[in-house]
Amino acid sequence: MQNRGTAVFLSVLTALGFACVAGCGMANTPIQVGTSLSGNWSFAPGNYGVILNLGFTQGAYETVSAVARLNGVSCVSPATDILLTGSVGGDNQMMLVSTPFNGTTLTLQGQVTGDGKGIAGATWAFAGGNCNTLGKADVTATNYSNINGTYTGNFVDASNDQLAVSALLEQTTQPDLNGQFSLSGTASFPGNKCFAQQPTLTTSLITGNSLSMTYTDTASGAVLTASGTFNGAANQLTITSWSIVGGACNGDSGTGMLAEQQQNL
């Protein structure tokens, strides 16, 4: 039983707003500040051949974090993870700053659109280290939709022979610890001699607008590797290079194009 002094003390705490409610002692739930960011992005300064591919690992909840990789430069390996953290403020202004890589620090800034699908007025700034010469530049930020659906088309080899392809592909909704995405699904190559059975998608990688896929036919030992790019809507896959090792089509290689098939509602 509480004595009178204890009761008075508790009533004072309650009046001051210090009364403990359910969940007392637990960590506060993070509060969303600006529009949340997610998905697969690229940042590029015009037609200079340099592109920063980035996957957001946490949106606008107190801290925004992402992992990026820089392609088209010699100052850092394209396999180097660039770790960025920052925030999206109440005015939807984004600022991300990287931990140093090869002595360089990268700062990304821009105005996030209300739907979280665009970043206007984006800039990057490289300071110090090997990539210092990239300096500060206006960049175009592009958000890529997930590859998700049935894609059909043809692979064409050096002799202009065509290999029909139909692939069911589904991209992961969240990136891995390297800020990269992967694919699952199946593919069929109707009416061809290259595979003894339907090959299985064994490895894949999605980063920015780049993709790579490896299909394996365990029956014949044939392995098909394909790589390329895709557009922002992810409804067209441009295969810049494919090749087959093993099986009846060993040594074949070429290019291709796959388009997403629209479902009839």
Pick from 104, 102, 103, 109: nearest CA to 87: 109
Identify the pLDDT of residue 186.
87
* Mean pLDDT calculated for residue range 112-136: 96
Strand, helix or coil for residue 8: helix
Better pLDDT: 250 or 192: 250
pTM, entire model: 0.80
Identify the pLDDT of residue 24.
53
| Joined tokens for residue 59 | 């949106």
pLDDT per residue as tens digits for the range 143-157: 999 999 999 999 999
* Mean pLDDT calculated for residue range 244-262: 94
Identify the pLDDT of residue 188.
87
Identify the pLDDT of residue 263.
66
Taking the alpha carbons of 82, 86, 89, 93 in that order, is the dihedral positive or negative? negative
pLDDT per residue as tens digits for the range 194-252: 888 888 899 999 999 999 999 999 999 999 999 999 999 999 999 999 999 999 999 99
Neighbours of 233 (CB within 10 A): 9
Asked if residues 45 and 145 have their Cβ atoms less than 8 Å apart, the reply is no
Domains and CATH numbers, the chain: 39-144 (2.40.128), 148-260 (2.40.128.30)
* Mean pLDDT calculated for residue range 108-116: 95
User: The sheet that has 51-61: what strands, in order across it?
Assistant: 136-138, 119-127, 105-112, 93-98, 82-88, 63-71, 51-61, 39-44, 140-144
Identify the pLDDT of residue 16.
41
DSSP secondary structure, 91-103, as one string:
T-EEEEEEPPBTT
- Looking from the CA of 197 toward its CB, the CA atoms found within 13 Å total 8
Strand, helix or coil for residue 15: helix
